[in-house]
Amino acid sequence: MWLKFSNAWKRFSCALLLVSAAYVASNAAIAAMRPGQNPDAMMPEQRVAKAREILNQLTEALGGPAYLEVRERECDGRRAQFGHAGELLGFIDFKDYWRYPDKHRIDYSKKGNIIDVFDGNQGWTMDRAGVSEEPAQAVSDFAVAAKYNVDNVLRFGLKDQTLNLNYAGQGIVDMHPVDWVEISDDQRTLRLGIDRSSHLLLHSVMNSVDENTQQRMQETTIYTNYQRKGSVMVALQVSRERNGERNYQAFYDTCTFDPHLPEDMFSKAALETRYAQVGNKKDKDRYRNARE
C-alpha cells in the first residue's frame, strides 16, 4: 500500500514540476513579448523609434563615433572559391578596399592579377585580356549592394527618406537571442538580426524579387569572429548564402581603417597602370573563378 502511495506521489510531483516549468516558461514568453517589445502591439512610430534605438546600439557596439567617422577600409585575407554546384574548390588570397559609400575594389591573388573596381554607377575589370568595362548587371548589382551595405546604412542610409525602418520583434540566431530590424524600400527588405547582449550584427537577410525571372531571392550574410581593430569592431569571418546555397565565404587576416588610399585607387587609369605591370602573367586563369 505504501509503495503504491509513494509511486503515485512521485508521479504527482513530476507532473507538478512540469506544470510549474510550463508556467514559468509561459510567463517568460509573455514577458519577452510584452507590449513594449511585441511589434504587433506597437504603433508604427513606436516601431520606427525602436528600430532606431537598436541600430544606435549596434553603432555603439561597432565603435561609436570612431566607427561612424570611417571613410576608407583596407582588408586582406582568403576567400573561398565555389563551383556551380556549391562545392568548395579552394581558397584564394585577396585584398579588399572601400572608400565609402560607393567605391569598392578587390584584388585577387597575392600578385593582384585579377581586379574588380566599382565607382558608383560605373565599373571596370582587369584580367588576362586587359582592362574592360564591368557588365551592366554587375554594376547594377553593386549599386544595390552598396545601398544596403550595413556600413553605409549606419553611416549614411538612416538619413535616406526612401528607406523605411521597422522593428520586427525578437528571435534566435545561432542560439543567440536577437532583435530584428527591417530596412526596406519598394523593392527590397533587409532584415538585421542584432545580438541582444553584445548588440553586434549576427545575420543580415536580403529579400528581393529577381527582375528577370520574377523569382523571390533570399540572401543571408553571417557575421562571426568579431575583433577590435583600432577603435572599430569588425567581423573577420563573413559567409553568404543565396536561397540556402553558400556562395561566398571570406576570412580576413587584417583590417585597417582610413589608411589614406591613393586618390586614383578606384579608377580605370589605376587598372591600366596595373595591367602594364602584370598583364603578361600566364597564371591568371586559375584566379578567375574567385569573382564568380
**pTM for this predicted structure:** 0.80
How much is the pLDDT for 280? Answer: 58
Q: DSSP state, 5?
A: H
Tens digit of each residue's pLDDT, the chain (292 residues): 444 434 444 444 444 344 344 333 334 433 344 444 788 889 999 999 999 999 999 999 999 999 999 999 999 999 998 877 778 888 999 999 999 999 999 999 888 889 999 999 999 999 988 999 999 999 999 999 999 999 999 999 888 877 899 999 999 999 999 999 999 988 889 999 999 999 999 999 998 887 777 788 899 999 999 999 999 999 999 999 988 888 899 999 999 999 999 999 999 999 999 998 886 545 444 444 444 4
Q: For position 214, what pLDDT does the model report?
A: 76
Q: Is 31 helix (H, G, I), strand (E, B) or coil?
A: helix
Q: What angle do CA 79, 71, 167 make, to 5 degrees?
A: 80
- Tell me the C-alpha distance between 265 and 279, whole Å: 18
Identify the pLDDT of residue 38.
84
The reported pLDDT for the residue numbered 225 is 98
User: Residue 282's pLDDT is what?
Assistant: 52
Count CB neighbours of 232 within 10 A. Answer: 20
pLDDT at 22: 38
What are the C-alpha distances in Å from 269 to residues 115, 122, 126, 259, 279? 13, 13, 11, 21, 14
**Residue whose grid cell is 520574377:** 214
